[in-house]
Amino acid sequence: MPKIIVQVMPKQDLLDPQGKAVAKALERSGHKAISAVRIGKRIELHYATTPTDSQLQEARKIAESFLSNGVIEDVVEVSIEQD
């Protein structure tokens, strides 16, 4: 099934308490090489047929206006994924 993948991450310079908590947990279980963790979201938009370029642009707009909150998140990927 053709899809567009959107990936959203918390903004680089802002607090990511979830990532921090996970990093701490990893450290406690002995994974010293991992210096930091940041946690984002992967969103899949499913289409009936392979998305066109304009649908890709539209998806980017949706990603930036609704699927992410521009104040605290960045859209780091919007791409077509073939199956």
Partner 1 sequence: MKIGVVTFPGSLDDRDAARAIRLAGGEPVSLWHADKSIKKVDAVVLPGGFSYGDYLRCGAIAAQAPVMKNIIKKAGEGLPVLGICNGFQILVESHLLPGGLIRNEKQHFVCRDQKLRVENVDSAWTSAFQKGDEITIPLKNGEGGYIATDETLKMLEGEGLITFRYLEVNPNGSMNDIAGLRNERGNVVGLMPHPEHAVEPGFGPDSPVAMRSGVDGLKFFQSVLRSVISA
Contact set with partner 1 (CB under 8 A):
10, 13-15, 17-18, 21, 66-67, 69, 71-72
Q: Which is nearer to partner 1, 33 or 71 (CB)?
A: 71
Q: Which is nearer to partner 1, 50 or 69 (CB)?
A: 69
Q: Which is nearer to partner 1, 18 or 50 (CB)?
A: 18
Structural contact between residues 39 and 19, judged by C-beta atoms closer than 8 angstroms: yes
Structural contact between residues 9 and 73, judged by C-beta atoms closer than 8 angstroms: yes
Closest approach of partner 1 to the CB of residue 82, in Å: 26
CA distances from 64 to 32, 41, 53, 83 (A): 35, 13, 17, 25
